[in-house]
Chains A and B, each alone.
Chain A
Amino acid sequence: AQKVTQAQTEISVVEKEDVTLDCVYETRDTTYYLFWYKQPPSGELVFLIRRNSFDEQNEISGRYSWNFQKSTSSFNFTITASQVVDSAVYFCALSVTYGNNRLAFGKGNQVVVIP
């Protein structure tokens, strides 16, 4: 079975500070995909980033960056120079193909950016 753990529940930061969200996953499969989604108060989940299990290269996309380490089964996500619009719930998710691409989500991190 697949499992995703996001330990922190609510994180508050002052605007322009960086915020890092931790994600630990469990799977026995060697091929899988990891995702980060953002859920603003409107409720719609917004896709942010995707990483496959064979690519541990860490990247930066705008103010977003991620750190994927298979050795520790972690897929951490960082928002640099946070803005008030970043206030939302962020979910880490794992997908393994067994004839479908169901997502297993963590419980989410509530990020509050204080102006």
Chain B
Amino acid sequence: DAGVTQSPTHLIKTRGQHVTLRCSPISGHKSVSWYQQVLGQGPQFIFQYYEKEERGRGNFPDRFSARQFPNYSSELNVNALLLGDSALYLCASSYRVADSYEQYFGPGTRLTVT
């Protein structure tokens, strides 16, 4: 079975631009989470969606938004990009929203803001 997939793999944007990152969960998984990992740090939680509803939001500004589609895939949108948004963006899926279910991560999208 295919794992979590993310697109694009790499992305270079300019300050002030907008970016959309995409994620497809493992088949049968209904929850998608987004994490930001700055170089040298652990991943930081951004959003979690389950059955198209937002279930959690981390400490990120309103420039960050996300949504989940009926097929459980998800998009992460970031507006008005800042240099500090340069990071690896990881998507994770799990079967349900409960801490007993481990999350499986995709390969990430590396975003560089210049």
- Residue ranges of A at the interface with B (Cβ–Cβ < 8 Å): 4, 31-33, 35, 37, 42-47, 50, 52, 91, 93, 95-108
- Residue ranges of B at the interface with A (Cβ–Cβ < 8 Å): 31, 33, 35, 40-45, 48, 50, 55-56, 58, 88, 90, 92, 94, 97-108, 110
User: Would you list 11 pairs from A and B whose C-beta atoms are within 8 A, ordered by A residue?
Assistant: A98-B56, A100-B33, A102-B56, A103-B33, A103-B35, A103-B45, A104-B45, A105-B44, A106-B42, A107-B40, A107-B42
A50 CB to closest chain B CB (Å) equals 6
A102 touches B58 (CB 8 A): yes
B102 touches A35 (CB 8 A): yes
Kindly list 10 other residue pairs between chains A and B, CB separation below 8 angstroms, not including A47-B105, A97-B99. A33-B100, A44-B107, A45-B92, A47-B104, A99-B97, A101-B100, A103-B33, A107-B40, A107-B41, A108-B41
A43 touches B107 (CB 8 A): yes
Provide the residues of chain A in CB contact with B58, threshold 8 Å. Answer: 102
Provide the residues of chain B in CB contact with A106, threshold 8 Å. Answer: 42
A47 touches B99 (CB 8 A): no
Complex Cα–Cα for A97 and B98 (A): 6
B31 CB to closest chain A CB (Å) equals 8
Provide the residues of chain A in CB contact with B106, threshold 8 Å. Answer: 44
B48 CB to closest chain A CB (Å) equals 4
A43 touches B110 (CB 8 A): yes
Provide the residues of chain B in CB contact with A105, threshold 8 Å. Answer: 42-44
Provide the residues of chain B in CB contact with A100, threshold 8 Å. Answer: 33, 48, 50, 55-56, 97
Of the residues A4, A42, A107, contact of B107 by C-beta under 8 Å? A42
B43 touches A101 (CB 8 A): no
B102 touches A45 (CB 8 A): no
A43 touches B108 (CB 8 A): yes
Which residue in chain A gives the minimum CB-CB distance to B102?
A47
Q: Which 3 A-B pairs have the closest CB atoms?
A: A105-B42, A100-B56, A95-B99
